[in-house]
Amino acid sequence: MSQSLDRALTLLTHLAKEPKTLDQLAEEIGVHKSTVLRLLRTLEEHHFVHREGVRHYRLGTALFDLANQSLEQRDVRRSAEPALAALNERTGHTVHLASYEDGEVVYIDKFEGHHSVRMYSRVGKRAPLHCTAVGKVLVASFPPRRRQDVAAGLDYPALTASTITSARDYLAELDLVAERGFALDNAEHEDFIHCVAAPIRGARGEVLAAASLSVPRVLLDLDGLLALVPDLLAAAEEASARCGWTGHEKGNQ
Amino acid sequence: MSQSLDRALTLLTHLAKEPKTLDQLAEEIGVHKSTVLRLLRTLEEHHFVHREGVRHYRLGTALFDLANQSLEQRDVRRSAEPALAALNERTGHTVHLASYEDGEVVYIDKFEGHHSVRMYSRVGKRAPLHCTAVGKVLVASFPPRRRQDVAAGLDYPALTASTITSARDYLAELDLVAERGFALDNAEHEDFIHCVAAPIRGARGEVLAAASLSVPRVLLDLDGLLALVPDLLAAAEEASARCGWTGHEKGNQ
DNA sequence: ACACTCCGTTGCGCTATGTGCAATGACAGT
DNA sequence: ACTGTCATTGCACATAGCGCAACGGAGTGT
């Protein structure tokens, strides 16, 4: 809708990868360099980008300032932190906190596993709903009608051999998830990783977010992963308690 | 320079505090609400803001995504992390990592103290150079000429009773800092807190950032704080080593 | 020392773009 | 049903933002 703003935001995402020069940016987004220069100047005034030397621009500090302010607002994150940090400490595996947004999963916190295998995820990153354990937990928390709408709107790209590829299968999986209270991603997103996830609930029993454990298959087979479920559930319940959850009502949406 | 972009960025900073409605935003930045609406729509397309319910907007996830990518680029942060985390663990006090940017200090990492007193700081936040220990360390690392320029350009607001309020005193303090290798903020920034800071150096001996310990005065008197200096210096040296620092050359700039 | 190249920067003139206004629509409270 | 609050849309005007082309300064090779 707003051309210059649109371009400026595009610039920012391009700068995220690495510092770039004016010309590079101009070429990448297909806009005349004088225009890019002017946009960058405005961005710089607001500390959204920063000049490095004379010719390189990189992302500026306003970005993390805003991001941190905003994250502090997200009560789930703050409230869940201790429980998830402890889970990470205890198991040594990667812990994610994620929420639903616009037909995708968004990671809102992450605790790195102690082993050296790094996952390709990051706070703020988005992931599909159909092949992640957190996605399943979140969608499974919706009332049936909404579940169907969401399921019908997905694409189901097969990211690995075991990815669920149809709305029918997905809905069946969601029933299972809702019933047993946790979700499994059996190498459906990345070949070498499998995960379990559980919901974190708020005061009215509504699901605020999902917490997951992600483990490389070389470290732990499926049974080993499932053995961690009680730990995960305990952490999710502790986090829920911190978010105001009291009873055991299941509470939809 | 670019009006619409300028307004959009202003919107973002206003949204940081708390979610707002269209009308509120329009009034706060003094622009017609239809205009604000269009800007918000563009921001929303890029996930920079997110609609909460029908009438509230809050910051979106693109922000954290970018912020994290940007922080990961900052090698100092990644390299210094283990040493600073250990320092935080060992002492139990708040540890900051900060760098110089445009006549201010910018916090690029923070490890919360274990005690309950929280400091008013945040990753991405800026602070003055004249009344922070990290600021002194960073400016003291500049060559004399640049030190003077910077010192002359500051405002010296007296934030507490002990704040340094003149360029002359500040320059004298910087000499002292450069000589002994660490800086002190004796409740010059916040009444109830005092800090010590030390430089983190890169491969050529240049100062990349400053690390600091901040302690509430009720927990530790000045002598107690100074007793932590060796710990701090050790951590800063370890971090420096990780950043490629080898020798003991002091290295300016 | 000179020419050459590479980039960031500036001035200019045009028009698409972003704007304010006023009317409309959606919704909630009384 | 009436009223008030707010988001949303259509429209017409003016200006803000655009691409162009020329400039300038730093770096490089001969």
Q: What are the structural domain ranges in chain A?
A: 3-65, 74-242
- Out of 3.30.565.10, 1.10.10.10, 3.90.1150.10, 1.20.120.1630, which CATH number does the structure's domain B3-65 have? 1.10.10.10
Report angle CA A123, A124, A126 to the nearest 5 degrees.
110
Question: Pick the residue with more confidence: B15 or B54?
Answer: B15
Strands (E), chain A: 49-52, 56-59, 94-101, 104-111, 126-127, 183-185, 193-201, 207-216
CB contact under 8 A, B64 and A71: yes
Determine what percent of chain B is predicted with pLDDT higher than 70: 94
| Confidence at residue B164, expressed as pLDDT on a 0 to 100 scale | 95
| Burial zone of B143 (CB within 10 Å; 0-12 exposed, 13-18 middle, 19+ buried) | exposed
CB contact under 8 A, A67 and B69: no
Interface subset of B 88-117, CB within 8 angstroms of A: 101, 106, 108
Integer Cα distance of A208 and A198 in angstroms: 11
CB contact under 8 A, B64 and A108: yes
Helix (H) or strand (E) holding B194: strand B193-201
pLDDT digits (tens, 9 = 90+) for B46-86: 989 888 777 788 888 888 788 877 776 767 888 898 899 89
Residue B203 CB coordination number (10 Å): 13
Q: Provide the CATH number for the domain formed by A74-242 in this structure.
A: 3.30.450.40
Give the CA B31 to C1' D12 distance in Å.
19
DSSP summary character for residue A218: T
Backbone angles phi, psi at B48, to 5 degrees: -80, -25
Please state the separation of Cα A220 from the chain's center in Å: 23
Q: How confident is the model at residue B124 (pLDDT cuts 50, 70, 90)?
A: confident
Nucleotides, chain D, CB distance < 7 Å: 6-10, 16-21
| Chain B residues touching residue A64 (CB < 8 angstroms) | 67, 70-71, 108, 123-124
Integer Cα distance of A245 and A27 in angstroms: 52
The pTM of the full predicted model, rounded to 2 decimals, is: 0.71
| Confidence at residue B189, expressed as pLDDT on a 0 to 100 scale | 94
Nucleotides, chain C, CB distance < 7 Å: 7-11, 16-22, 27
Integer Cα distance of B32 and A3 in angstroms: 18
Nucleotide with the nearest C1' to A3 CA: C17
The B 35-94 residues near strand D by Cβ under 7 Å are 37, 54-55
Determine whether the distance from the CB of A18 to the nearest atom of strand C is below 7 Å: no
Q: Which residues of chain A have pLDDT under 50?
A: 249-253
Question: Pick the residue with more confidence: B247 or A130?
Answer: A130
Structure-token pair, residue B89? 């663990």
Determine whether the distance from the CB of A1 to the nearest atom of strand C is below 7 Å: yes
| Average pLDDT score, chain A | 87
| Confidence at residue B135, expressed as pLDDT on a 0 to 100 scale | 96
Integer Cα distance of A140 and A242 in angstroms: 22
Q: Nearest Cα to B92, choosing from B244, B246, B231, B234?
A: B231
Q: How confident is the model at residue B253 (pLDDT cuts 50, 70, 90)?
A: very low
Structure-token pair, residue B40? 């918000």
β-bridge mates for residue A194, sequence order: A215
